Structure 1
Amino acid sequence: MVNTVITIGRQYGSGGRAIGQRLAEELGIKYYDSELLDRASKDSGLCQELFQNHDEKPTNSFLYSLVMDTYSFGYSSAAFTDMPINHKVFLAQFETIKKIAEEESCVMVGRCADYALSDYPGCLSVFIHADLDKRIRRIAKKYELTDAAAKDKIHKTDKQRSSYYNYYTSKKWGDANGYHMCLDSGVLGMEGCVELIKKAIEVKNAHQKK
C-alpha cells in the first residue's frame, strides 16, 4: 500500500505552515516540519544542533553533483565520513524523508521534501504563495513589525529558502513546473487551500486506480 505524502513548499508569510498543519489535522495524519530535524538526527546519529544550524540555509562550499554521487554510496562509506557537515545534514534529511514516506501518510513542509520524493507515487507536491503586500501584512501583524521590517524579513527568508532549494535540487524554487499544485493563499484563503489540496488527493488517487 502506498502512503499519501503531501509536501508543501512556501513563500515566507504565505501561511504554508498553517495550511500544512490544518491539512494534517483534517486528514488525521502526522505533520512534519522541524520534527523532520529531530528524526533525521536520531536516524543519522548526528547532533540535533547541527540540523538546526543548517536548516534550509544555502551553501556554496560543494558541488551539487558530488553531493548526489556521494548519496548513492550510503552513510557508512568513507566518502560520507569525509563530507562537509552541511552535506551530511542534507543527506541525512533526504534519507529520513524517504523513510517516513514508506512508514506513514503525512504532511511535510520544506526541506526539499518534494525533490526527495519526486519518484514516490504517493507524493503530492504543493507550493503556497501570495501577493507580497498580503504577506507583509501577515508578517507585520504576527511579529509586531513595521511594514518595512516585515518586507525585509520576507525577502531575506525567501532568498535563503530559494538558494538552499536551488542548490540541492535540479529544480527551481517556486517554479510551477516543479510542483503538482501552486496555490495563492492570498486569493483562496487558508481554508480554500486546504480544501483544494484534499480534493486534489482524491482526484489523484482515483486517477491512479484507473
Structure 2
Amino acid sequence: MENFVITFARGFGTGGKAIASQLAKELGIHCYENRILTLASQLSGLDENIFQEVNEKMRETSGFSSFLRGLPRSRRYISRNEKFVSDDKLFEYQSEIIKDLAEKESCVIVGKCADYVLKGKPNVVSIYIEAPRAFCVNRTMENMGVTEEVANATIERTDKFRADYYEYYTHGNYWTNPVNYDMTLNSERVGVQNCVKTIEQYLIIKELITPDMIHPAGELK
C-alpha cells in the first residue's frame, strides 16, 4: 500500500493535537508538529529558534512583520547570510520538509499549512478540528492550569496567529474554510476519541488503510 498523509488544522483547545497524536499511534506512524521545525533547521543550517519565532504566526519584531507583509514578495527575500531571514524563506524550508516527508513515509502532520502544501495529492487527507469556545476554554484551563481569563486570551491570540498565517501563505484563503478539508469535526459533539475512530473509518473508505492496520490505544479525554 502506498504512503498516505493526514494533515490536521485545529482551533486551540479543541483537542486537535491529541486527536492527531492518537491517530498516529493507532496507525503506527509518526506524528509531526514541532519536529518539522527541527528538520527545517537542519535543512537550512539556521537556528531552530528562528523557526520557533514564526511557528504558525507572522513575526512581530518591532512592527517589522507588518512592514514585510506590505511588500511585494519579490522584495521580501533576504539572504540566509543576513541577520534576518525572511518569513517566506522559512516557510519554504518547512514546506520542503513537509513534501519530503509525504514522499518518504506515511505520517500525520499537524498545522504548518500542510493541507495547502500538499494540496491535490490523492494520498493526502486533510482534517479540521473545531469546537465551541466554552469547550476549548475548559480544556485549556484543565491542560494548562490557567484561569478562564487567561484561557480565553490564549485561545483568541493563538487562533488569530494561525488564521493570519494561513491566509497569508495560502494567498488569501481562510483557515476555517470547510472546502479546504476532507472532513471538519466538532470535537465536543463527536467526542475526542470518536474523532479518531471517524477519521480511521474515512481512511478505510478512501482505501488508504485497511482495518487490520488499526491498533486501538487507550481512551482519550
Q: Which TM-score bucket, shorter chain as reference?
A: 0.7 to 0.9
Q: 2:189 aligns with which of 178, 187, 190?
A: 187
Partner of 2:203: 201
Could you tell me whether the CA contact under 8 Å between 1:98 and 1:116 is conserved in 2? yes
Could you tell me whether the CA contact under 8 Å between 1:20 and 1:31 is conserved in 2? yes
Partner of 1:122: 123
Could you tell me whether the CA contact under 8 Å between 2:39 and 2:97 is conserved in 1? yes
Aligned 1:152-191 pairs, distance under 5 A: 152-170=153-171, 171-191=173-193
Cα distance in 2 for residues equivalent to 1:81 and 1:201: 42
Cα distance in 1 for residues equivalent to 2:179 and 2:72: 22
Deviations 1:125-153 (A, max 9, x none): 00000011011111011122221221111
Aligned 1:3-152 pairs, distance under 5 A: 3-58=3-58, 59-60=65-66, 61-62=68-69, 66=73, 81=79, 84-152=85-153
- Determine helix, strand or coil for the equivalent of 2:206: helix
Cα distance in 2 for residues equivalent to 1:105 and 1:153: 32
Structure 1 residue runs of 5 or longer lacking an equivalent are 71-78
Deviation at 1:196, TM superposition (A): 0.7
Cα distance in 2 for residues equivalent to 1:198 and 1:80: 43
Cα distance in 2 for residues equivalent to 1:110 and 1:153: 17
- Determine helix, strand or coil for the equivalent of 1:205: coil
Cα distance in 1 for residues equivalent to 2:159 and 2:187: 16
Structure 2 residue runs of 5 or longer lacking an equivalent are 59-64, 209-221
Q: What's the TM-score, normalizing by structure 1?
A: 0.87
Deviation at 1:42, TM superposition (A): 1.2
Cα distance in 2 for residues equivalent to 1:187 and 1:65: 43
Deviations 1:8-39 (A, max 9, x none): 00000001110010000000001101011111
Cα distance in 1 for residues equivalent to 2:15 and 2:128: 11
Instruction: Figure out how many residues of one structure are paired with residues of the other and give that number.
Output: 197
Cα distance in 1 for residues equivalent to 2:111 and 2:155: 16
Deviation at 1:80, TM superposition (A): 6.9
